[in-house]
Amino acid sequence: MLTLDLSKLNGFLPQDYLSSREDALREAARMLAEHNGPGGDFTGWVTLPRDYDKEEFARIQAAAKRIQQQSQVLVVIGIGGSYLGARAVIELLGSPNYNLKQKNTPDILFAGNGLSTDALLETISLIGDRDFSVNVISKSGTTTEPAVAFRIFKQMLEEKYGKEGARERIYATTDKARGALKGLADQEGYEEFVVPDDVGGRYSVLTAVGLLPIAVAGIDIEALMDGAAQAMEALSAPGADNPAWQYAAARHALYESGKKVELLACYEPCFRFFAEWWKQLYGESEGKEGKGLFPASVEYTADLHSMGQYIQEGERLMLETVVQFAPKGEFLIPNDPENVDGLNFLSGKPLSFVAEQAMRAVILAHVDGGVPNVRIQMPALSETVTGYLIYFFEYVCGLSGYLLKVNPFNQPGVEAYKNNMYALLGKPGYEAQKAELEKRL
């Protein structure tokens, strides 16, 4: 399913970069499989494609059908790992223009992933007087952005449909036992879905967190899980021919050789939010203790006309990972008898041929400019392919974190801003901190 081309690392890495890391990779793979490395309590995602809760999965499918019947809009409230996966898959498979398309599934609007008043007002006006439902997603149940948004949309639902009617339209995805959202959902009688204890936010796209909104968008979540299960099976085999081992070793070796940034590039505009999901996955997993490749993303060929100059000639900080999908359709470039633009040498050629040559040209130019290149080739986009790619990146991320000797499953750095924000907002208990912060501002 996935072909990894590392041939454009020649000259950037010593011959033995993989063999010299084989022992460490074997240990990393063992810790992931046995759930006993650093952060092992959060490695439930490793076997999720096989061991997911089948009863809940059926409830997700039933709830998705109900939402499709009851509403023209689903508002998905969540931030970080509680929203990026769903948006990534919906845009990748349903298009970034999903909401503009003619379809028999609801529009999906994302809220609670920021604190912009303008964005909130726009979401409300986009709903207009249409029927809507809400899927509020928060593992902790206490994250400020989604909690504030939920307050607002819950009130809107209650005003429009009454308390009873609102209850029928609110779906809560949260911890199975703890947290403010769990308490509220129990009290109000919302349909609940669980973020498993052993799966952290950024690894949760294949749980109810991602699956419910994805299913509402009409995407086949069984095929998505099947793709992930195929990857789980393929990547669990230890050894130097495992592509996850190869990619993790290459990233680590390049990092140790002085590279500081990994650019994820794709030639498909629908990949943009998948790259956002990937950035969170790698940024939160590796970026700690003063270590880690900074994950960045570019959309080609558009960004060749904005970021291309820096990538070619700026600081030699980066490696580039290109994800390529086989095209689904074909479009032939028309002939122009007058040939004013001089492009008749391309007449009758598929647009994908031009894209392929552009990609090959870029790879060679960047390699010549000192940017090592990793190429991931996938079949045409489908649910199965997407599930496979999700699991591949998750698994490589787990291996990479262990190679880097960090806990890839915590995110202690996220708390710093939250504590300051609570203090500045006047949350009870933070009075001393507030006074100290106000003095510094």
Applying CB under 6 A, which residues contact ligand PA5?
Answer: 79-82, 138-140, 143, 146, 200-202, 284, 411
Shortest Cβ distance from residue 35 to ligand PA5 (Å)?
Answer: 18
Query: Residue 373, Cα to own-chain centre: how many angstroms?
Result: 22
Show Cβ contacts of residue 224 under 8 Å, excluding neighbours closer than 6 positions.
89, 206, 211, 214, 383, 384, 386, 387, 390
For residues 207 and 225, give the distance between their C-alpha atoms in angstroms, rounded to a whole number: 10
Answer yes or no: 366 catalytic.
no
Whose structure tokens read 């993790």? 248
Answer yes or no: 286 catalytic.
no
Contact (Cβ atoms closer than 8 angstroms) between residue 150 and residue 93: no
For residues 334 and 113, give the distance between their C-alpha atoms in angstroms, rounded to a whole number: 43
Cα→Cα distances 435→428, 430, 431, 439, Å: 13, 9, 6, 6
Question: Choosing from 103, 349, 405, 418, which is the catalytic residue?
Answer: 418
Size (the chain), residues = 441
Shortest Cβ distance from residue 140 to ligand PA5 (Å)?
Answer: 3
For residues 265 and 181, give the distance between their C-alpha atoms in angstroms, rounded to a whole number: 37
Cβ-count burial 15-24 (b if 16+ within 10 Å, e if not): eebbeebeeb
Answer yes or no: 252 catalytic.
no
Contact (Cβ atoms closer than 8 angstroms) between residue 233 and residue 267: no
Question: Choosing from 91, 262, 276, 284, which is the catalytic residue?
Answer: 284
Whose structure tokens read 């009130």? 155
DSSP track, 151-166: HHHHHHHHHHHHHHHH
Class of residue 373 by CB neighbours under 10 A (exposed 0-12, middle 13-18, buried 19+): buried
CB atoms < 10 A from the CB of 372, how many?
A: 22
Shortest Cβ distance from residue 399 to ligand PA5 (Å)?
Answer: 18
Question: Choosing from 54, 55, 159, 305, which is the catalytic residue?
Answer: 305
Contact (Cβ atoms closer than 8 angstroms) between residue 355 and residue 304: no
For residues 196 and 51, give the distance between their C-alpha atoms in angstroms, rounded to a whole number: 12
Shortest Cβ distance from residue 249 to ligand PA5 (Å)?
Answer: 25
- Residue 295: phi and psi, rounded to 5, are -85, 125
| Coil, helix or strand at residue 108 | strand
Shortest Cβ distance from residue 397 to ligand PA5 (Å)?
Answer: 12
User: How would you classify the pairing of strands 373-378 and 3-5?
Assistant: antiparallel
Nearest CA-CA partner of 201 in 270, 132, 146, 268: 146
For residues 289 and 406, give the distance between their C-alpha atoms in angstroms, rounded to a whole number: 8
Residue (190 or 267) nearer to ligand PA5, CB: 190
Active-site residue numbers? 284, 305, 418
